[in-house]
Amino acid sequence: MQLTDDDKAMRDGRDGSAVAAAMDLLIRYGEGLGAERLCSVRNVAGTSTQPTPAKNKIAAEGGWNKAYAVINLDCDEDIEIPKMRVPTCQLQHGFSADALNITPYSPHLVELQADAESFASDRGINILATCTPYQVGNLPVRGEHIAWMESSAVVYANSVIGAKSNCEGTASTGAAGLTGRIPYWGNHLDENRKGTHLIRSDVRIDSFMDWGLFGYFAGDVVQEERPVLTGNLGLPSLTDLKHLGAALATSGGVEIFHLPGVTPEAPTVTEAFEPAPLPDVVVYTEADRRAAYESLNNQGTSEDVDFILLGCPHASLEQIAQIAALLDGKRLSPNTELWVMTPRALRSVADRNGYSAVIERAGGRLLTDSCPAMSRVAPEGTKVFATDSAKQAHYLPAILGIEAWFGTTEDCINAALTGKWNGALR
C-alpha cells in the first residue's frame, strides 16, 4: 500500500503501541481488500462497550485495555489505549440501568457495560448508544469520508446524507478511531457509488409500511449492488428513508441507494448511472408488494400476540409522537407488552413533550440504548411478537425463536391493545 509519512510514523510507533497496532491492522485489512492507500476520516461510529462472553472473559483477566486491544485491534499485546484521534461514537449496545426490572437483561451485564462505558468515554468515545447516530447529533457532511458500522446507519449515511463509508466492523472502526484512517476502497470511490439496477414501482409508495416493503423487495433483487428507485413514489420523510434503507440492507446487503431528485448524488436517473447506460428496468408490481408482505408474515401462525416491538432502527421523534397519539387514553391488553426503542437523547425530548408519559400510562415502555436483537432478550414467555419493522420481522424469529407478524404501526398498536393480530395488506 502507498503510505503517507504520517501513516508510516503511526505504524512505526510514534504515537504509541496502540496506534501502531491499529495501523498494522488497517494496513493488513487494506492489503486484503486490494486498496492502494488509506484515506483520512474524522467521524467513526463503532462499538466497544457491549458485553459479550469473549470480551467479559478478556476484561476479567486483563482489564478493558486488554479487551479493546484484542477485540477492537486484533492485538494480543498488553497495551494502553489512548484517547481517540478523531471524533468517535459508540453505537447501540446492551440494555442499561433504565431497563432493569423491565427487561430480563442480566443486571451483571448492565454493570459490566457501565464499567466499559466509563473506560470508553475516558478515551474520547461519545456514548450515543443508538443505531441511528444521525438522529442525535452525529451528522457527517456530504462527501465526507467516514468509518461507520451498523448496516442501517451506513446505508443512510451514504444514500441520504451523501457521506462515504463502507459497512465496517468492530476491529476496523476500533483502529480508525485511534488513527483517523480507513482503507480507500468500495464506497469511498465515486465510481463505486453509481447505480447498478433501475427499479420502478408501479405501486404508489407513500406510507411508512410501503417504503419498507419496497426496500425489502429491492434489496432481494440487487443483493449487494446499488439500486436506483423510481416510479410512483411519494416524497419520503427522513423516517421513511430510515425504514427504506434498513429494509434494503436486510433482504440484501445494500450500502447505497439512489432516489433521483431526493438523495444527493442522483439529481436525475441518467446521472445516477453515468457514464454507464441505463440498465433494463425491474418493475415492482402489486403482486410483488403482496409477496414481500407475505414473506415477512410467513413466520407466524398464532394470532395471540405477547409482545409488540416498535423502533427498529431506533424510533424518530415523529414515530414516538404517532405512537403516543394512537395510545392516548387507552390501555394495553393485560396479555401484551409494548417496547418502543429510541435513542436516549430522543427519549429526553419525548419526556419533555409528554409522549413518554402517554405511552407509559397506556402500559407501554419507551426504552433506550439497545433492542431485543442486540441484547437477545424479549419479555419473559414471549412466543409471538408484532412489529412495523421489516428488519426486526426478518431477524428476530431466528435470534429468539419466536413467531413474527409485520404490519403498519396502527396494526401493531391494535395488537397491543387487544392481544390479537388483525393486520392485513390494504
Q: Mean pLDDT of successive 10-residue segments in the chain (426 residues)?
A: 97 98 98 98 96 92 96 96 98 94 94 96 98 97 98 98 98 98 98 98 97 98 98 97 98 98 96 97 98 94 96 97 98 98 98 98 98 95 97 96 97 98 92
pLDDT at 85: 98
CB 250 within 8 A of CB 178: no
Per CATH, which fold does 5-190 belong to?
Aconitase; domain 3 (3.30.499)
pLDDT of residue 151: 97
What is residue 379's predicted lDDT score, i.e. its pLDDT? 96
CATH fold for domain 299-418: Aconitase; domain 3 (3.30.499)
Cis (ω within 30 of 0) for the bond into 372? no
Distance between CA atoms of 413 and 387, rounded to whole angstroms? 9
What residue spans define the domains of the chain?
5-190, 194-295, 299-418
Q: Of all residues in the chain, what percent are helix, strand and coil, respectively (each to 5)?
A: 45, 15, 40
- What separation in angstroms does the CA of 415 have from each of 102, 146, 236, 357? 20, 40, 26, 20
Note the pLDDT of residue 263.
96
Angle at 279 between CA 278 and CA 281, to 5 degrees: 110
pLDDT at res. 69:
97
pLDDT, position 300 = 83
The per-residue pLDDT for 260 is 97
Q: How much is the pTM?
A: 0.96
Q: Using CA atoms, how far apart are residues 192 and 226, in angstroms rounded to an integer?
A: 9
The one-letter amino acid at 11? R
C-alpha torsion 334→336→342→346, nearest 10: -20
